[in-house]
Structure 1
Amino acid sequence: MPSLLQRVKSKMAIFAQRKARGMLDGEYGSVFRGRSLDFDDLRAYVPGDEVRDIDWKASARHGSPLIRRYVAVRRQTVLLVTDTGRNMAADAKSGEAKKDIAILALGVLGYLALRHGDVVGLVCGDSSTTRSLPAKGGEEHLERLLRHVDTNTRLDGPPSRLQDQLQHVAGNVKGRRLLFVVADELPADDATGRLLRRLRAQHEILWLTVRDADLAPSSQEIRESSTADSFSVADSAVLAWQPAAAAGVAAAYATAAAQRDAERKAMLRAAGIVEGDVAASDDVMTGLFALLERHRRAG
């Protein structure tokens, strides 16, 4: 069976060829603030590094900017939180399965955590069950976590209800953690907003939204496909494309989708949570980098 973590590493290697090495590592290392650090070594400055970390004396001797690197005295615990209900087995905006994009994102953040000496755990589930896998180190452990998400996210599984997994974290996880939440377009409501504010009071939270597929295909897609009907994973209802051909219906759908987005973003913002979003696996590396950078600046 192909390794899911190897797929993650391959994506990261491609990204490293396009971006300066160390940028993702640097952004990840900036997420936790105030932890005890010991000096490790020096490395070349790359865009995105903190100016305050430049060692000016060493830079003057070397002839180019050098950054002081530190190692944590104590390991941090990173908790991956995701939905394994059938909503996440549906298509993303790119046409890929949302779970494949989610697994890639979880793997990248988990692998960064391992590289920094941190331990990684998982909370996942659906409307019927929440599963918690303890935090450990090591690539074999991370592979098991990713495999668990992959195996348990199925179209024939129970419906999604991410609020149950968030409630589990609020009620059972003691101490401060870094929560990395990967979800689809979670609807906003008052109860969820209160839950998020409660979680944010205790934990650092990074939130990545995997964008849903467009339910109304474009006119070109309609022409190219003779079987353009789609099905809702929630109740198996047919989502016929014909009404979307009407300009008024398409405009109303776009307005409703924009309103849902705005409500979710406002809910997360009110809780003090920085959100990123991705529509395809090719977006994950840049999307995660941007999310880490925004989180650092927000702090």
Structure 2
Amino acid sequence: MTALLSPVKSKLFIVAHRRSWGLLDGEYASVFRGRSLDYDDLREYVPGDEVRDIDWKATARHGSPLVKRWVATRTQTVVFVVDSGRGMAALAAGGEPKSVVGINVVGTLGYLALRHGDLVGLVEGDATATRPYAAKGREGHLERLLRAIAARTTLDSGPSRLSAQLEHVASHYAGRLLLVVVADERDLDGDDVVLVRRLHAQHEVLWVTVEDADPTAVGAGRRGVGARDVGDELVMAPEVRFDEQLHAAYTASMTARRASLASTLEGLGIVHGRVGASEQVLSVVFRMLERQRRRGR
């Protein structure tokens, strides 16, 4: 199989000119260097402390705010939570499989993590199974993670159920992590919000949505050719696929759906980004790291 990490590295060193690469590398370092933390003890709250570090039970007993004190560990553990359901085998907005865009996201952030001595792991799956991969600090391991995503994300995969993968993280990972969620276009229902809030209280979370192609756009395919939704197997007949009213309705529906997800993630305090093509990954990752750094000030 052709190496998957090599093209990612080529984009980092060749497509991104030296200044852009330096900025991207610096953003990662400024955000996550020394942020892998273990609990040490409690101390009095002082202005500027993060609200998420307040120990509310201890505060109630003590009568004044107490925050948890953390000690930096030597490495950060980055765990990618990737939707490998069959929806991610469909086309992204840029015309390539969404799994390819997701692999570029994981490869870019994973390689940045390795450069800074951090560990990278993976939890991927669909509605039928969740598969965890241990966190390690070698390029060969990152390559294996990328290959696992590529191999598991096919049209024969089960439907997406990202909540199953997030539940696995909540149940099996005790230490503080950087979680990078790479997901298909989806909504978050009430149970999802509770779960994501719980994860964000313990870990740092970044959320990347891989955008669907618009099957009703004229540029999305040849006239006279139908389109199939790989998620639910519905087929859009060619005579209605490029109907103007259908296109307008689809666009309005997706705009509302995306705004709803953005509002939910913003409300949870989670930095998020949208990417529709591999060529957009570097700029989207940079903007997300920059926003995360600013929120951590």
TM-score when scaled to structure 1?
0.82
Counterpart in the other structure of 1:242? 239
Cα 1:239–1:173 change in 2 (3 A) is same
Counterpart in the other structure of 1:296? 293
Residues 132-281 of structure 1 mapped to structure 2, 5 A cutoff? 132-218=132-218, 225-281=222-278
Cα 1:244–1:193 change in 2 (3 A) is same
1:7, CA displacement in angstroms? Answer: 1.2
Whole-Å separation in 2 of the counterparts to 1:109 and 1:297:
18
Is residue 2:282 matched to residue 1:285?
A: yes
1:244, CA displacement in angstroms? Answer: 4.8
1:241, CA displacement in angstroms? Answer: 4.5
Query: Greater CA deviation, 234-243 or 170-179?
Result: 234-243
Whole-Å separation in 1 of the counterparts to 2:156 and 2:123:
20
Q: CA RMSD in A?
A: 2.0
Whole-Å separation in 1 of the counterparts to 2:102 and 2:257:
21
Whole-Å separation in 2 of the counterparts to 1:205 and 1:221:
33
Counterpart in the other structure of 1:82? 82
Question: Is the 8 Å Cα contact of residues 216 and 243 (structure 2) preserved in structure 1?
Answer: no
Letter in 2 for 1:249: L
Letter in 1 for 2:117: G
Partner SS state of residue 159, structure 1? coil
Whole-Å separation in 2 of the counterparts to 1:114 and 1:264:
30
Question: Is the 8 Å Cα contact of residues 84 and 149 (structure 2) preserved in structure 1?
Answer: yes
Query: Greater CA deviation, 170-179 or 185-194?
Result: 185-194
Partner SS state of residue 31, structure 1? helix
Question: Is the 8 Å Cα contact of residues 197 and 272 (structure 1) preserved in structure 2?
Answer: no
Letter in 2 for 1:187: D
Cα 1:73–1:140 change in 2 (3 A) is same
Is residue 2:16 matched to residue 1:16?
A: yes
Structure 2, unpaired ranges of 5+? 37-71
Deviations 1:205-224 (A, max 9, x none): 11111100102122x667xx
Deviations 1:79-104 (A, max 9, x none): 01101110111100111000001001
Cα 1:191–1:247 change in 2 (3 A) is same
Cα 1:148–1:107 change in 2 (3 A) is same
Whole-Å separation in 1 of the counterparts to 2:141 and 2:5:
10
Query: Greater CA deviation, 232-241 or 188-197?
Result: 232-241
Aligned pair count reads 262
Percent identity (aligned) = 51
Whole-Å separation in 2 of the counterparts to 1:20 and 1:84:
30
1:249, CA displacement in angstroms? Answer: 2.8
Counterpart in the other structure of 1:7? 7
Cα 1:5–1:229 change in 2 (3 A) is same
1:251, CA displacement in angstroms? Answer: 2.0
1:242, CA displacement in angstroms? Answer: 3.2
Residues 83-122 of structure 1 mapped to structure 2, 5 A cutoff? 83-122=83-122
Whole-Å separation in 2 of the counterparts to 1:14 and 1:113:
19
Query: Greater CA deviation, 17-26 or 258-267?
Result: 17-26
Question: Is the 8 Å Cα contact of residues 15 and 285 (structure 1) preserved in structure 2?
Answer: no
Partner SS state of residue 94, structure 2? coil
